[in-house]
Amino acid sequence: MNVEKKVTSSILLLLVFFKLFAQSIPVVPLSLDDDIRVLQLQGKISANYSLTIRPLYFTKKFTPDTFFALIASDKKTPLKEASHSFWGKFGKLSLLPTTVLTKYNSHHPYGWNDGAMIPAKGFQSIFSTGVYAELGPLSIQLKPEFLNASNQAYEITDAFGTLPTKKVKRFFPGQSSVRLNGGPVSLGLSSENLWWGPGQFSSLMMSNNAPGFLHLTFNSRKPLKTPVGLFEWQVISGKLEDDSDLDAPIEVRNLWSYRFVFGSNSIYRGDWKYINAMTFSYQPSFLKGIYVGFSRQYSGLSKYVLDSTKNRGFVNEYLPVFSKLFKSKLVNEDSKGWDQLANIFFRALLPKANAEFYVEYGWNDHSFNERDFIMTPVHSSSFLAGFKKGIKFSDDKWLFLNGEVTHMEQTPDYLVRWAGSWYEHYQGTGYSNANQIMGVGAGFGSNLQVFSATLNNGYNKIGILLERVQREPNTHTARWTDLSYGFTGQKKINKLLMAWRLSGVESKNYAWKQDASRFNFFGMLSLNYYW
């Protein structure tokens, strides 16, 4: 009996030692994920977090109820987590919010960073709900998503006329994960959407523009403190799958269908892509609020990549992000069929000014050697830069000004050395999952400028949002430019959190046809019920 008691006590002590929440703040559209930045600029959450690797995970000290209370304005009732502890608080069971997200386009597909939604005309909706459970180091989060899209036919080009489409109904694993957590680190299997980099509206490397994909992950749960500073990281290996439905629009191919691009017998149909990627962020101990980092990813069709790398060692086969940077240091690199991206980023938090600014710079292909990089560092490059500034009117009322510029158009050196469009280097289907770009959703090779002003009062918000998109200007005589202007808002009604965006979109030279002007009404509505 004494032995049994000792074993039981040891197990309980182990669970106490490993106790760490793995529930996340999901990176989904029109959600509380946007409030993390606001709280940091207000000085309500720690500057230790770089916010360049998301989703952000709750901890023992930073719980869902703590997060909800920080957002709430004075004398207003915050949202609450519906949870139950058991086995002396060694276990936990929570009901996750039920979400209905609806999107509408009146003329043609528009809008990005919308997860499982497809580029389509008409109405589409995502329904999601779930549960979260943990027992010591083990955590399970189940939040699948169901998509229902009318996917109406829309005008695309003179050559193709009206694109034929059909209704789409699909299930996705959504924001789900199974993890083992210990101290500041976690190892798990996940399908959650990821966001890498400092951007507010776009990310060159990883965003929530496409549905989440199944991946193995080894990542930090919170900043790892060392004498030289704070470190955060994530390394993933996963499976990307494009939709080979002949009527499915392909975002990386200018909203054409699979049929028009690859044909019914294409080698790209039915194959999946392997992805290995990593990101790393560092905050020096002597520079509080300064974050620097880098990301790297390899992806490619499994039939080419995995076959071509056999017998080359485990790292070369499955973890190429840890291989050497320059092609000259590698063997027959181009024959492996990898599609590669790399970037560096910088974010500066200015707490006294309630502001931040950031820059992200990336390359769509790595250089042959050091000389190649020094001679043409801008080859196949892209960048984004932005800022966020808070103006305090009272403890509850704040005005936030936000701006961001993303440039993916080829640099002038394409005149002597063609680099191709961003997200389309080696593989025909590009850097995509479910036919949607994994990074900047405005379109490959496009330029994007965004400005917004939002008045915040706790959970309630009202604002304006302006966008300008130049779609792949390098390869067409007529410049297809979208000008979007609209309103955003959020309102809490008891346990219901409602958020919306309503915009008018004027498309000049639509589908690169000279003098073709089209107007599109774009709207999104999110309803989240917290049990």
Whether 297 contacts 205, CB under 8 Å: yes
Cis peptide bond prior to 320, omega within 30° of 0 = no
Task: Assign 159 a pLDDT band (cuts: 50, 70, 90).
Answer: low
Q: 495 lies in a domain? A: no
Whether 368 contacts 400, CB under 8 Å: no
Q: 484 lies in a domain? A: no
Region of 321 please: left (phi>0), alpha (psi -120 to 50) or beta. alpha
Q: What percent of the chain has pLDDT over 70?
A: 86
Please say if the pLDDT value at position 19 is more than 50: no
Q: What is the pLDDT of residues 77-97, one digit of tens each?
A: 899 999 898 887 788 999 999
The H or E element containing residue 314 is helix 314-318
Average pLDDT over residues 328-342: 69
**Residue of 98, 10, 443, 508 lying closest to 253 (CA atoms):** 443
Q: What is the pLDDT of residue 258?
A: 73
Give the count of beta carbons closer than 10 Å to the beta carbon of residue 155.
17
Phi and psi dihedrals of 284, rounded to 5? Answer: -60, 145
Please say if the pLDDT value at position 515 is more than 70: yes
Q: 482 lies in a domain? A: no
Q: What is the pLDDT of residue 526?
A: 97
Mean pLDDT of all residues belonging to the chain: 87
Q: Where are any strands of DSSP class E within 318-459?
A: 339-350, 355-363, 381-392, 397-407, 432-433, 436-437, 447-457
Q: Which of 258-267, 349-358, 374-383, 455-464 has the lowest mean pLDDT?
A: 258-267
Q: 110 lies in a domain? A: yes
The amino acid at residue 438 is M
Which distant-in-sequence residues (6+ apart) come within 8 Å of 306 by Cβ?
274, 317
Q: 216 lies in a domain? A: yes
Task: Assign 461 a pLDDT band (cuts: 50, 70, 90).
Answer: very high
User: pTM here?
Assistant: 0.91
Q: 526 lies in a domain? A: no
Into how many domains does the chain fold? 1
Q: 60 lies in a domain? A: yes
The H or E element containing residue 5 is helix 2-18
Q: Is 446 exposed, middle or buried (0-12, 13-18, 19+ CB in 10 A)?
A: buried
Q: 492 lies in a domain? A: no
Please say if the pLDDT value at position 155 is more than 90: no
Q: What is the pLDDT of residue 246?
A: 66
State the residue range of the domain holding 247: 2-96+105-396+413-444
Q: Which residue has the higher pLDDT, 332 or 57?
A: 57
Please say if the pLDDT value at position 12 is more than 50: no
Q: What is the pLDDT of residues 173-209, one digit of tens each?
A: 999 999 999 888 999 999 999 999 999 999 999 999 9
The amino acid at residue 457 is N
Q: What is the pLDDT of residue 410?
A: 82
Q: What is the pLDDT of residue 428?
A: 64
Q: What is the pLDDT of residues 89-123, one digit of tens each?
A: 788 999 999 999 999 999 999 999 999 999 989 99
Q: Which residue has the higher pLDDT, 248 or 471?
A: 471
Q: What would you report as the CA-atom Rg of the chain, rounded to the nearest whole angstrom?
A: 23
Give the count of beta carbons closer than 10 Å to the beta carbon of residue 188.
20
Q: What is the pLDDT of residues 396-409, one digit of tens each?
A: 899 999 999 999 98
Can you give the CATH number for the domain in which 195 is found?
2.40.160
Q: Which of 228-232, 268-272, 296-300, 501-505 has the lowest mean pLDDT?
A: 268-272
Q: What 3-state class would DSSP assign to 320?
A: helix
